[in-house]
């Protein structure tokens, strides 16, 4: 259902307000470049600084702009289970094809708590659910055995795995098999995860290099390993540049340098330092993006 290069799309702002035109233009560009799916309201979409009505509007605009051409997987995670249910239910009502739910953050649930959290959302809302494990941001690592337990929920279909730990990725696939669609949550691990049996990635880099990100996944799927490897190495400098400061600061700065959005963030995120912006420019110029 969900595979290939899925972009964790930025949320552009203009004078503090969601820039719907820039957003729709980005979506059209992604579809033309071969992106396989759109994730509105993820980490890269600054979901943590959107109020509820903004959150719903971003999802609604994405669904309407995509118009069923590729899947839309709406970010609906929260550190309150009841809130996650509300967000996920609304995403389904708005027409999203799936929901991406980050592990509850800050409150550091146990593995049993994680299991009960996701099961409660899956039982409450009949929508395909993508789990999202990113301990570097949430301070909790959802272990493979917990994911395997969650496979009893028929609408939990995939996992965005952002630990960077290929041993953990391998264990996930060993325990869950074809029942789980494993997606990379870190661009630098996408090709490795494809080799293990993953199906693609939810990407930051695809915001600025959608054609190459989609091309790498397409090459792998058709068995052209040499081409997939070539694109992986071409993308590596961009992958690194996307994290020289906290995501999504570099990627939004890059898109502004490309003339696709305004260079605008919401506090507590702010503009890049001058030195890092020069490094970012160098990476983009080296890749022929600007």
Residue 75 C-alpha from the chain's centroid: 8
SS3 labels along 138-194: HCCCCCHHHHHHHCCCCCEEEEEECCCCHHHHHHHHHHHHHHCEEEECCHHHHHHHH
Q: Beta-carbon neighbour count of residue 218 at 10 Å?
A: 18
Separation CA 173–CA 56 (nearest Å): 33
Of 92, 160, 252, 277, catalytic = 160
DSSP output for 39-69 = ETTSTTTTGGGS-HHHHHHHHHHHHHHHTTS
Of 132, 277, 279, 281, catalytic = 132
Question: Is 160 marked active-site?
Answer: yes
Nearest-5° angle of CA 82, CA 85, CA 87? Answer: 110
Question: Is 167 marked active-site?
Answer: no
Q: 141: which residues sit within 8 A by CB, 6+ positions away?
A: 133, 135, 163
Instruction: Please identify every residue annotated as catalytic.
Output: 132, 160
């Amino acid at each position: 259902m969900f595979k290939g290069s899925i972009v964790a799309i930025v949320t552009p702002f203009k004078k503090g307000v969601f820039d719907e035109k820039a957003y729709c233009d980005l979506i059209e560009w992604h579809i033309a470049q071969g992106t396989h799916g759109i994730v509105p309201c993820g980490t890269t979409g600054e979901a943590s600084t959107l109020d509820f009505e903004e959150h719903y509007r971003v999802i609604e605009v994405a669904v309407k702009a995509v118009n069923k051409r590729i899947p839309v997987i709406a970010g609906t995670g929260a550190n309150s289970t009841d809130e996650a249910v509300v967000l996920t239910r609304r995403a389904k009502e708005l027409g999203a094809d799936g929901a991406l739910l980050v592990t509850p953050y800050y409150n550091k649930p146990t593995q049993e708590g994680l299991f009960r959290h996701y099961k409660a959302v899956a039982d409450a809302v009949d929508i395909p659910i993508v789990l999202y494990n990113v301990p570097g941001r949430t301070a909790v690592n959802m272990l493979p055995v917990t994911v395997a337990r969650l496979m009893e929920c028929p609408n939990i279909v995939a996992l965005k795995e952002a630990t960077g730990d290929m041993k953990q990725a391998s264990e996930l696939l060993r325990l869950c098999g074809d029942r789980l669609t494993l997606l990379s949550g870190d661009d630098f691990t996408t090709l490795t995860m494809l080799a293990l049996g993953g199906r693609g990635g939810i990407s930051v880099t695809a915001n600025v290099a959608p054609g190459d990100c989609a091309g790498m996944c397409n090459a792998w799927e058709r068995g052209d390993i040499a081409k997939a490897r070539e694109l992986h190495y071409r993308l590596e400098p961009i992958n690194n540049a996307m994290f020289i400061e906290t995501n999504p600061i570099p990627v939004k700065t890059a898109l502004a340098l490309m003339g696709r959005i305004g260079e605008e963030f919401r506090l507590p995120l702010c503009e890049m330092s001058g030195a890092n912006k020069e490094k970012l420019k160098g990476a983009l110029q080296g890749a022929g993006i600007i």
